[in-house]
Chain A
Amino acid sequence: MTTLLERPTAASAGPVVDKRVVRRRLGPGKRIPFSLAIGPLLLVGLWCLLSATGRLDPRTLSEPWVVVETARDLIENGRLQDALQTSAVRAFAGLGLGTAIGTLLALVSGLSRVGEAVIDGPIQVKRAIPTLALLPLLVLWLGITEEMKIVTIALAVMLPVYIHTHNGLRTIDGRYAELAETVDIGRPQFIRDIVLPGAMPGFLLGMRFAVTTALLSLVVVEQINATSGIGYMIHLASSYGQTEIIVVGLVVYALLGLAADGLVRTIERKALAWRRTLG
């Protein structure tokens, strides 16, 4: 339906009339400020309400204030920091190793036909096997060690990095390579100035998946056979029915994930400034 609006604007003194034809809005309309925070806050509010009225059994889920208190205790006696440090080291070591391997393989496979023939096939096979299914084998090979945990995370992280970087490389516009040929640059400069920046968007997309994958793998390796770290803390708490510690652990995992994702996004904003649109 078409409506006819006639409304004087208050801003100016003169007889300015804003007369327009307005159609009924079908889209969702304007954004609500801080809309992202509203849902989580409502959930926490509901949690408080249910706990305060006793509807929520502490054995199912501890009261929010108990969780906060527990977090403070865990920080005061240093357990949380220790666990966090152990977990963070594992996650970032695995992430770093996996990213390095994935990027290197993607470059070799993307830049040479021989490399592609040798590397791409095994990666696609590896892709079909969930990395976590390799755990028994990795435990046999490396034992229940830190190396095993880091290698598991690295193996999982390698895939998204490889796939997206490789795809980024392969989708670089061939016209840019042609241009590079006309300005007479060598292969090293071609790689530095065309290939790497051209593959950067793909690489960073891969990194965002990689961060999530690293965290997922971290959770698994820590819960199966660890004696330290956030996952171990949660696992132990589960045995004793301490839901408040479990919640603290989950919050820490969430913070780790958010921090890592934020880091990648910051790098993305800096590295891809050229992609930013005018709007």
Chain B
Amino acid sequence: MATDAGLTTGQLEDRTAVRVERLHRSFNEAGGVLNGLDLDIAPGEFVALIGRSGSGKSTLLRALAGLDRDVAGHGSIDVPDRVSVVFQDSRLLPWRRILDNVAFGLRGRDARRRGEEALAEVGLAGRERSWPHELSGGEQQRAALARSLVRDPELLLADEPFGALDALTRMRMHILLKRLCAVHRPSVLLVTHDVDEAIVLADRVIVLVDGVVSSDIHIDLGERRSPGDPRFASLRTRLLAELGVEDDHEAIDTQDRKAAS
């Protein structure tokens, strides 16, 4: 991980981009989705959030994005001023051309130029005048990435952004996202259900179980991470175990038999 040359004093190194304390959220009386969750994310840090469905990943992300107006709960959230969100669907407005989508909501005279630059960065130069439906799924998601990065976010929130893409496209998107993050250095919170994706991309992987952080693992596999690496494999096994998936067919068989009886 590159260090910020501007940081010299110990005090400044303490600063966080995101601080979540004792966060509670619940959708009904029965039980909370988030139950007193604490989370800090450092500036420029890439955090992947994994968990089973219903574990509260998306609820946390939406809370950070400020999109949970109608959800009951309490706790405190500090996020930077500039927050961008990438959704699972590209959410490009079908009635705006790609450039107008990327520059959507940007103010200032250079909005279009910045949009064009962002499009070039994600490899979509020349597609400015296309309609969203003319792009492939991967291209649409790249345009969505451009739309989030053109705002120069201090925090990038991504909710399973590659979940709907095919495996090959997803791998190319991983490389692209890594490169973009290296250039722009936002803090990133990536929600994913793909353990490999989390290990490939993140500085830190956080496992969410029952609305609290159950483990917080730093990934120190260096820059080039290959699933062939034994450390990669053991990390994956460990994370899958945390999620309740045994890397072992016998265990699943036993569970099935238990469930059947």
Q: Known: A194-B93, A274-B95, A275-B94. Contact between A185 and B105, CB under 8 A?
A: yes
Question: Which residues in chain B, 58-103, are within 8 Å of chain A measured between CB atoms?
Answer: 65-67, 83-85, 87, 89, 91, 93-97
Q: Which residues of B contact A189 (CB under 8 A)?
A: 105
Query: Which chain A residues border B133 with CB–CB below 8 Å?
Result: 274, 277-278
How many residues of B are in contact with the other chain, CB < 8 A? Answer: 22
Q: What bracket does the count of chain A residues touching chain B fall in?
A: 20 to 34
Check A94 for interface membership: any CB of B closer than 8 A: no
Q: Cβ of A65 < 8 Å from any Cβ of B?
A: no
Judged by a CB distance under 8 angstroms, whether A200 is at the interface is: yes
Quick check: is A18 within 8 A (CB to CB) of the other chain? no
Contact B134 A278 (CB under 8 A): yes
Specify the main secondary structure of chain A where it touches its partner.
helix
Closest Cβ of chain B: how far from A193's Cβ, in Å? 7
- A180 interface residue, CB < 8 Å from B? yes
Interchain CB contact under 8 A, A274 and B94? yes
B151 within 8 A of A: yes
Asked if A197 meets B134 with Cβ closer than 8 Å, knowing A179-B87, A182-B85, A183-B105, the reply is no
Max chain A CB contacts within 10 Å: which of B66, B85, B95, B96? B95
Task: Evaluate contact between A193 and B67: CB separation under 8 angstroms.
Answer: no
Interface residue? A181 (CB, 8 A):
yes
Query: A236-279 toward B: CB 8 Å interface, digit per residue (1/0)?
Result: 00000000000000000000000000000000000001110110
A-B complex: 7 closest residue pairs judged by Cβ atoms? A183-B105, A197-B95, A182-B85, A274-B95, A185-B105, A179-B91, A274-B131
Given A197-B93, A198-B95: 12 more A-B contacts, CB < 8 Å: A175-B91, A176-B93, A178-B67, A179-B85, A181-B66, A182-B65, A182-B67, A183-B151, A184-B105, A197-B95, A273-B131, A274-B95
